[in-house]
Amino acid sequence: MRILIVEDDAELAGQMMATLKDAGYAVDHAPDGEEAHFLGDTEPYDAVVLDLGLPVMDGLSVLRKWREDGKTMPVLILTARDTWSEKVSGLDAGADDYVTKPFELAELLARLRALIRRAAGHASSELQCGPATLDTRNARVWVSGEPVRLTALEFKLFSYLMHHQGQVISRTELTEHIYDQDFDRDSNTIEVFVNRIRKKLGVELIHTVRGLGYRLESENAKASD
Ligand code: CA
């Protein structure tokens, strides 16, 4: 899962980025509204944290432009003051949620998890596929109750597939959602990661769809369809 942080306060941006990276997200940063608008327009983010008070272009304008352009990614706004009017304008402009500064990073994380899983159609913070469970709250994975140790990148990839169960996901899409902007991306390595994850899971959940990509699905789910 890949998140864009839009915040001109370098210290706060740094704290949010460190927290999100620790929690297993790929994270990009935009320090002003113009760069934010460009990144949100060109990169496929799973969620955006958008400060409203920004240099060059304010957050509300950025958000309105994205929504006018048909960008539907979940957006959580940061409101500087505890005024109801800023929240109302933000929500009306297409924001999905907000937190008021100052806030606890744990609350920001919880709200982002909820936004991301709801956008993917999941109501619970524990995602299930056959014998596999992924807890989005602590980035842990189990198979039949046994913990599975995944590296940070393996977890990002598996988490993306778990959020989009039953869908065919291309290697390009995976690449775009597990690496941040600065990473030297190579979609050929995706296959290597997938094979490692398959081995660690020990169960056949990630299916190769020849020429198209991968689909995460449990055999039981398929049989009961
Ligand atoms: Ca600001």
Task: Write the CA distances from 20 to 88, 110, 215, integer angstroms.
Answer: 26, 11, 26
> Edge-to-edge strands of the sheet including 47-51?
26-30, 2-6, 47-51, 75-79, 97-100
Alpha-carbon Rg of the chain, whole angstroms?
18
Q: How far is the CA of 150 from the centre of ligand 1 (A)?
A: 36
Q: How far is the CA of 53 from the centre of ligand 1 (A)?
A: 4
Please give the chain's pLDDT, 225 residues, in tens.
999 999 999 999 999 999 999 999 999 999 999 999 999 999 999 999 999 999 999 999 999 999 999 999 999 999 976 678 889 999 999 999 999 999 999 999 999 999 999 999 998 999 999 999 999 999 999 999 999 999 999 999 999 999 999 999 999 999 999 999 887 777 778 999 999 999 999 999 999 999 999 999 987 655 444
Q: How far is the CA of 54 from the centre of ligand 1 (A)?
A: 5
Beta bridge partners of 206: 216
Q: How far is the CA of 62 from the centre of ligand 1 (A)?
A: 13
Q: How far is the CA of 220 from the centre of ligand 1 (A)?
A: 49
Q: How far is the CA of 10 from the centre of ligand 1 (A)?
A: 10
**What whole-number distance in Å separates Cα of residue 18 and Cα of residue 150?**
19
Return the pLDDT at 220: 60
**What whole-number distance in Å separates Cα of residue 148 and Cα of residue 29?**
31
The 3 state secondary structure assigned to 88-141 is: HHHHHCCCCEEEECCCCHHHHHHHHHHHHHHHCCCCCCEEEECCEEEECCCCEE
Q: How far is the CA of 80 from the centre of ligand 1 (A)?
A: 7
Q: How far is the CA of 183 from the centre of ligand 1 (A)?
A: 26
Q: Do the beta carbons of residue 141 and residue 150 sit within 8 Å?
A: yes
**What whole-number distance in Å separates Cα of residue 2 and Cα of residue 164?**
14
Q: How far is the CA of 72 from the centre of ligand 1 (A)?
A: 23
Return the pLDDT at 225: 45
Return the pLDDT at 83: 79
| 36-75 per-residue burial string, b: 16 or more CB within 10 A, e: under 16 | bbebbeeeebbbbbbbbbbeeeebbebbebbeeeebebbb
Beta bridge partners of 101: none
**What whole-number distance in Å separates Cα of residue 41 and Cα of residue 35?**
10
Q: How far is the CA of 24 from the centre of ligand 1 (A)?
A: 25
Q: How far is the CA of 1 from the centre of ligand 1 (A)?
A: 25
- Nearest-10 Cα torsion for 4, 8, 9, 15: 10
Q: How far is the CA of 9 from the centre of ligand 1 (A)?
A: 6
Return the pLDDT at 221: 56
Can you tell me which residue has the tokens 């993306």? 160
